[in-house]
Chains A and B, each alone.
Chain A
Amino acid sequence: MLTIGKVIFKGTDIIILFAACALTVWLYSTFWFNSTQQGEAEALLVQFADNPPTEYSLSEERVITVEGKIGSSVIEIKQGKARFIHSSCRNQFCVFHGWLTVLGDTAACLPNRISIRLKGAFSDYDALAGSQ
Chain B
Amino acid sequence: MSSKKKLPGKQLVSALKISITVILSIFFVLLITACQPDKDNNELYQQQLFSFGTLIDISVLSNEPEQAKQAINIISTKFDQLHSQWHPWQNGALGQANKNFSNTHFFSSTSSIIKLIQDSKQLSEQSNGLFNPAIGQLIKLWQFDQLEDEQYQFNLPDAEKIQTLIQQNPQMQDIVIDKSQIKSDNSSVVLDFGAFAKAAAIEQMIHILKEHNINNALINAGGDLKVIGSKNGKAWRIGIKNPANAQNPSEKSIIAAISLNNNEALFTSGNYERFFEFEGKHYHHIIDPRSGYPARGTQSVTVLSNDAALADAASTALFIAGAELWPEIAKKMRIQYVMLMSDDNKIYLSPAMAERIELFTDIKPIILNKHSTTP
Given known contacts A91-B147, A110-B50, is B15 in contact with A128 (CB within 8 Å)? no
Given known contacts A35-B237, A91-B154, is B18 in contact with A4 (CB within 8 Å)? yes
Q: Does B124 contact A (CB under 8 A)?
A: no
Q: Does B215 contact A (CB under 8 A)?
A: no
Quick check: A24 and B222 within 8 Å, CB to CB?
A: no
Specify which chain A residues have a CB less than 8 angstroms from the CB of B263 in the assembled complex: none
Q: Does B121 contact A (CB under 8 A)?
A: no
Q: Which residue of B lies closest to A69 (CB)?
A: B150
Specify which chain B residues have a CB less than 8 angstroms from the CB of A20 in the assembled complex: 19, 23
Contact string, A1-24, partner B, CB cutoff 8 A, digits 1/0? 000101111000100110011001
Question: Smallest distance from the beta carbon of A125 to chain B beta carbons, Å?
Answer: 4
Q: Does B350 contact A (CB under 8 A)?
A: no
Q: Which residue of A lies closest to B224 (CB)?
A: A129
Given known contacts A50-B49, A90-B153, A106-B55, is B240 in contact with A129 (CB within 8 Å)? yes
Q: Which residues of chain B from 1 to 43 have any CB-CB distance to chain A below 8 Å in the complex?
A: 11, 14-15, 18-19, 22-23, 26-27, 30-31, 34
Question: Smallest distance from the beta carbon of B59 to chain A beta carbons, Å?
Answer: 7
Quick check: B270 and A130 within 8 Å, CB to CB?
A: yes
Number of CB contacts from chain A to chain B under 8 A: 150
Specify which chain A residues have a CB less than 8 angstroms from the CB of B268 in the assembled complex: 129-130
Question: Smallest distance from the beta carbon of A116 to chain B beta carbons, Å?
Answer: 10
- The contact of B257 among A16, A17, A33, A125, by CB within 8 Å, is A125
Q: Does B358 contact A (CB under 8 A)?
A: yes
Quick check: A24 and B151 within 8 Å, CB to CB?
A: no
Quick check: B238 and A91 within 8 Å, CB to CB?
A: no
Quick check: A90 and B152 within 8 Å, CB to CB?
A: yes
Q: Which residues of chain A from 99 to 130 have any CB-CB distance to chain B below 8 Å in the complex?
A: 99, 101-102, 104-106, 108, 110-113, 115, 124-130
Specify which chain A residues have a CB less than 8 angstroms from the CB of B153 in the assembled complex: 90-91
- The contact of A7 among B14, B59, B240, by CB within 8 Å, is B14
Most buried by A among B15, B59, B270, B358: B15
Given known contacts A111-B150, A130-B243, is B15 in contact with A13 (CB within 8 Å)? yes
Q: Which residues of chain A from 38 to 93 have any CB-CB distance to chain B below 8 Å in the complex?
A: 38, 47, 49-50, 53, 70, 88-91, 93
- The contact of B239 among A28, A70, A101, A102, by CB within 8 Å, is A102
Specify which chain A residues have a CB less than 8 angstroms from the CB of B274 in the assembled complex: 93
Per the bound structure, the CA–CA distance linking A35 and B235 in Å amounts to 13
A-side interface mostly: loop
Question: Smallest distance from the beta carbon of B275 to chain A beta carbons, Å?
Answer: 8
Per the bound structure, the CA–CA distance linking A98 and B121 in Å amounts to 38
Given known contacts A130-B268, A130-B273, is B360 in contact with A9 (CB within 8 Å)? no
Q: Which residue of B lies closest to A112 (CB)?
A: B150
Q: Does B132 contact A (CB under 8 A)?
A: no
Per the bound structure, the CA–CA distance linking A124 and B273 in Å amounts to 23
Q: Does B254 contact A (CB under 8 A)?
A: yes
Given known contacts A70-B150, A91-B154, is B26 in contact with A24 (CB within 8 Å)? yes
Given known contacts A49-B50, A99-B249, A130-B300, is B34 in contact with A32 (CB within 8 Å)? yes
Q: Which residue of B lies closest to A4 (CB)?
A: B18
Most buried by B among A21, A89, A131: A131
A selection of 11 A-B contacts at a CB cut-off of 8 Å is A36-B257, A38-B239, A47-B48, A50-B47, A91-B152, A101-B253, A104-B239, A111-B148, A125-B238, A125-B257, A129-B240
Which chain B residues have a beta carbon within 8 Å of chain A's beta carbons?
11, 14-15, 18-19, 22-23, 26-27, 30-31, 34, 47-50, 53-55, 57, 59, 76, 147-154, 218, 220, 222-225, 231, 236-241, 243, 246, 249, 253-254, 257, 266-268, 270, 273-274, 276-277, 300, 302, 358, 360
Other A-B contacts than A7-B18, A36-B358, A129-B240, 10 sampled, CB-CB below 8 A, are A32-B34, A102-B239, A108-B50, A110-B50, A110-B54, A128-B254, A129-B223, A130-B241, A130-B270, A132-B55
